[in-house]
Amino acid sequence: MLMPIDYRPRAASTMPARGWSSTWTALCLCPLLPLLPNEVALADGVRSPLEQSRPLRPGAPRPLEDYRFLDDPAKRDDPFDAFRYHRLSDSAWLQFGGELRYRADSVDRPFFNLRGVGHEDYLQQRAQLHSDLHLLDGAMRVFVQLEDTRSWHKELRAPTDQSRSEIHQAFVDGNWGLGRAGNVTARVGRQEMAYGSSSFVSYRESPNLRYSFDGVHLSWAGPAGHKADVFAVRPVELRADGSFNDGTDNAKTFYGLYASLPLAPERGLDLYGFSLETSDRRLAGVFGDEKRHTLGARLFGKHQGWDWSWDLAGQVGHLGDARIRAWALSSDSGYTWDAEGRPRLGMRIDMASGDDDPGDDRVGTFDPLFPRNQVYGEASLTTLANAVVVGPTIGYSPHPRLRVEPAVLGVWKHKSADGVYFTGMNMAPGTAGTGKRAGTVYKTNLRWLVTPNLTVDLDGLFYDVGTAITEAGGEDTAFLSVRGTFRF
């Protein structure tokens, strides 16, 4: 259970049932791919989705890909098959892959014009190449992924913009079968992680640099679908200048437990506990070393067109001498009609506590840890901290290779005394103590599956600001982004 992520709603619940290309089928079924080399995720006689379309679409982690079906020469019908899979012996095989992505953004009044830049246009590049060696019939695995990230003409730089040439992932797996008791895997090294709906731990696909961590995982997968994952890691510290110099962020330690319990077909319960230790942190008017513990549960499932994913989490601990008492709710529910284009109507309701008296002996601001913030748009304006976010979402496919997903989200502060937080838990300047209404987000995403290898995403956003922003001198933000991703 190294990557127990739920790809809904852009998975099976939102894709058209008729007229779909095999490309969408592969994307929809990607959570069913073998998570480990010798796991059997598909029943006998069931084709791997990668046989229909390969590789996986952007967002899905490359270690999920298993190309052993290419041992059959009749199935080598893709131009890249000779590159991507090599049988070394009866018990060993080697896989290769890569990605080239360009992202062009145009932003009018970025960050509500509170950072002194009225407009910017910029271009970003992400190039990746990986090798995946499996030995001893999958009992041992070595995965290495190199990455080169660049950013041009961007004035308001962020750590996720560029890190030049680096090792993004490099880990070793040891895999042991326990017979009827299931399977245990130990993973050591630099790796990506994501859990559940990615509300608190995610891959962070949309920015130029995805999350990666240095540390160890120990995972158990039971025969009846029960799973448990224990980990202790530190985030990778990104450096914009220089190559092969990204190191471990020794100021942060992240460890925890995540367990998945099947309740019924297509329904389940996740239970988790995370701890994040941070040195010399400043938040809610308090400065010091922080120990923040997150305890939560996620209920998810599908039934007769309905789908739901509900996370409820609480946080305790301390920041300096102040106690931490915070909470959050992250939920996405919807209904998909069995009709042409598979329309889906959903409702997102997210809430996270804020601090009502900055500088006192209690910190009430929730920290979403390592979240997937693109559910609020690609402009890095909103994260799940001192926030109430409510609004409808829509999904529709006017063509088998197109998916359109607009949303309108109202955003408020939970506590007026606290501020509005951008991604990365950076407070918008001057927003502490302003009004409660942050504004309304109008956003849409259009995904076009051009070929099995090429995906194009178009994202637009307009943030109509409210008193929480205007009283700090902020203005409306407009954002447009185009991403072209070629995977092989």
Pick left, alpha or beta for residue 312 (phi over 0 → left; psi -120 to 50 → alpha; otherwise beta): beta
Is the pTM higher than 0.75? The answer reads yes
Quick one: CA torsion of 183, 184, 187, 193, rounded to 10 degrees? 70
The neighbouring-strand residues paired with 167 are 146
pLDDT of residue 307: 98
How far lies 445's CA from each of 29, 341, 350, 392, 456, in Å?
Answer: 21, 16, 20, 14, 10
What letter represents residue 228's amino acid? A
Nearest Cα residue to 142 out of 167, 122, 162, 170: 170
What letter represents residue 420's amino acid? V
Nearest Cα residue to 256 out of 182, 173, 193, 175: 193
What letter represents residue 257's amino acid? L
Output the six-digit token pair for 422. 């951008």
pLDDT of residue 273: 98
SS3 state of residue 204: coil
Nearest Cα residue to 282 out of 462, 99, 137, 425: 425
Angle at 96 between CA 91 and CA 102, to 5 degrees: 160
What letter represents residue 78's amino acid? D
Structural domain spans, the chain: 12-487
Rg, C-alpha atoms of the chain: 22
Q: Cα separation of 292 and 247, whole Å?
A: 23
Burial code (b: 16+ CB inside 10 Å, e: under 16) for 254-273 equals: bbbebbbeeeeeeebebebe
Low-confidence residues of the chain, pLDDT below 70?
Answer: 1-46
Are the beta carbons of 22 and 40 closer than 8 angstroms? no
- What is the CATH topology of the domain spanning 12-487? Porin (2.40.160)
In this structure, the strands spanning 247-248 and 252-264 are: unpaired
In this structure, the strands spanning 227-237 and 252-264 are: antiparallel
pLDDT of residue 46: 59
Q: How many CB atoms lie within 10 A of CB 458?
A: 15
Give all strands (DSSP E) within 337-476, no chain letters.
344-352, 362-363, 387-399, 402-412, 421-422, 426-427, 437-449, 454-465
pLDDT of residue 37: 35
pLDDT digits (tens, 9 = 90+) for 323-337: 999 999 999 999 999
Output the six-digit token pair for 378. 């690609």
Burial code (b: 16+ CB inside 10 Å, e: under 16) for 373-401 equals: bbbbbbbbbbbbbbbbbebebebbbeebb
